[in-house]
């Protein structure tokens, strides 16, 4: 219970900033105030609420359950109040807001360029931070404002987030030009005999490829396992290994490395790439603007 019902709104803005940044210094920077001012505001709020609010950990300032509850209650109210007090609303060209996104490394390769190109033209002071967040932590990170958006093939979090579908995609087999075993058609026999590059993790959703193939009685022959997609194109271009990748990725790598791709010898389900966010931030004009821009750009990318 709050000891004094007359509470400065700025104290709650500070709490939200620290919780979202997990850092006093970064919160101070985002609020354009000094670190001592942030610390002083937290001390006042701790006294008023009679709760420590944050605990220092190796990963930053970890909020207490009470801090999380307060954040959820006041974040939407602060956004609504800010919109009401600012008749001009969010102005992209004047904003220096930082939007935090999470996506796989393959998402970084495919999505960041069109987003950043647009921002340079229309919102030159807006910045993007890309953070790595585990699949299990994504809903929590979205709700707490640690990240603004999660982009990718993430069906596991659909029930816990708001989202919109950017595009449908399917997998193909990518290989080098003049491959000795592959002609104009990829047969099941060759597909099973040839060595494959295995890539990605449960974060990317590409683990579902293996499950779909096994369900159809196909077991791939491993030639290389890598945790990320960054090295795949060069490996495939210089060896007889092949890789299963989304078609857009195969087209991108094909232009850069002169690679070919063909349909898989068996049909596996398409998947959907979506942008996810927390319902709590839907009233924030800047958040809505960025969401609409990303959706527009990537839906036609």
Residues forming a β-bridge with 164:
275
**Choice among 60-64, 84-88, 165-169 with the minimum mean pLDDT:** 84-88
pLDDT, position 208:
79
pLDDT, position 206:
67
270 — pLDDT class (breaks 50, 70, 90): very high
In the numeric block, which tokens belong to residue 220?
Answer: 């791939």
pLDDT, position 152:
95
Average pLDDT, the chain: 89
Question: Would you give the distance in Å from CA 139 to the centre of its chain?
Answer: 11
pLDDT tens column, 158-193 = 999 999 999 999 999 999 999 999 999 999 999 999
pLDDT tens column, 229-239 = 888 999 999 99
Average pLDDT over residues 239-259: 94
DSSP H or E stretch at residue 150: strand 149-152
DSSP helix/strand/coil, 101: strand
Average pLDDT over residues 117-122: 97
Average pLDDT over residues 58-84: 79
pLDDT, position 121:
97
- Does residue 6 surpass a pLDDT of 80? no
pLDDT tens column, 199-218 = 866 555 667 788 889 999 99
Average pLDDT over residues 75-101: 76
Domain ranges for the chain = 9-85, 98-160+273-299, 171-269
CATH number for domain 98-160+273-299, candidates 3.40.190.10, 3.90.1330.10, 3.30.420.40, 3.30.70.270:
3.40.190.10
138 — pLDDT class (breaks 50, 70, 90): very high
Residue 64 is given by DSSP the state P
Overall fold of domain 171-269: D-Maltodextrin-Binding Protein; domain 2 (3.40.190)
Asked if residues 54 and 18 have their Cβ atoms less than 8 Å apart, the reply is yes
State the DSSP string of 198-256. EE--TTTTTHHHHHHHHHTT---EEEEEESSSTTHHHHHHHSS-EEEEEHHHHHHHHHH
Average pLDDT over residues 252-263: 94
Q: What does each C-alpha distance from 265 to 9, 217, 218, 235, 240 come to in angstroms?
A: 61, 12, 10, 22, 18
Q: What does each C-alpha distance from 267 to 67, 170, 178, 270 come to in angstroms?
A: 49, 10, 25, 9
Same fold, 98-160+273-299 and 171-269: yes
In the numeric block, which tokens belong to residue 126?
Answer: 């807006």
State the DSSP string of 208-224. HHHHHHHHTT---EEEE
pLDDT, position 96:
84
pLDDT, position 2:
52
Asked if residues 193 and 221 have their Cβ atoms less than 8 Å apart, the reply is yes
pLDDT, position 202:
54
pLDDT, position 88:
57
In the numeric block, which tokens belong to residue 153?
Answer: 């093939």
Question: Would you give the distance in Å from CA 192 to the centre of its chain?
Answer: 33
What's the whole-model pTM score?
0.77
261 — pLDDT class (breaks 50, 70, 90): very high
Question: Looking at the domain covering 9-85, what would its CATH class be?
Answer: mainly alpha
pLDDT, position 228:
83
Average pLDDT over residues 66-82: 77
């Amino acid at each position: 219970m709050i000891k004094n019902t007359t509470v400065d709104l700025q104290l709650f803005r500070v709490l939200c900033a620290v919780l979202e940044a997990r850092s006093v210094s970064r919160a101070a920077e985002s609020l354009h105030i000094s670190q001592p001012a942030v610390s002083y505001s937290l001390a006042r709020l701790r006294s008023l609420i009679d709760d420590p609010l944050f605990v220092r950990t190796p990963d930053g300032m970890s909020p207490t359950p009470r801090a999380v509850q307060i954040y959820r209650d006041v974040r939407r109210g602060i956004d609504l109040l800010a919109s009401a007090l600012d008749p001009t609303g969010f102005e992209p060209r004047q904003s220096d807001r930082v939007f935090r996104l999470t996506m796989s490394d393959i998402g970084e390769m495919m999505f960041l360029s069109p987003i950043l190109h647009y921002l340079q033209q229309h919102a030159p002071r807006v910045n993007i931070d890309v953070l790595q967040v585990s699949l299990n932590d994504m809903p929590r990170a979205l709700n707490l404002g640690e990240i603004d958006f999660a982009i990718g093939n993430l069906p596991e979090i659909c029930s816990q987030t708001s989202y919109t579908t950017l595009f449908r995609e399917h997998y193909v087999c990518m290989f080098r030009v003049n491959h000795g075993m592959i002609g104009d058609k990829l047969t099941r026999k060759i597909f099973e005999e040839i060595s494959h590059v295995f890539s990605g993790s449960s974060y990317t959703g590409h683990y579902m490829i293996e499950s779909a193939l096994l369900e159809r009685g196909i077991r791939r022959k491993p030639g290389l396992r890598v945790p990320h997609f960054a090295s795949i194109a060069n490996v495939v271009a210089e060896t007889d290994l092949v890789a299963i990748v989304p078609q857009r990725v195969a087209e991108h790598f094909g232009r850069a490395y002169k690679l070919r791709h063909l349909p898989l010898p068996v049909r596996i389900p398409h998947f959907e790439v979506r942008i996810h966010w927390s319902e709590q931030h839907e009233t924030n004009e800047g958040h809505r603007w960025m969401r609409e821009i990303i959706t527009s750009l990537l839906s036609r990318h």
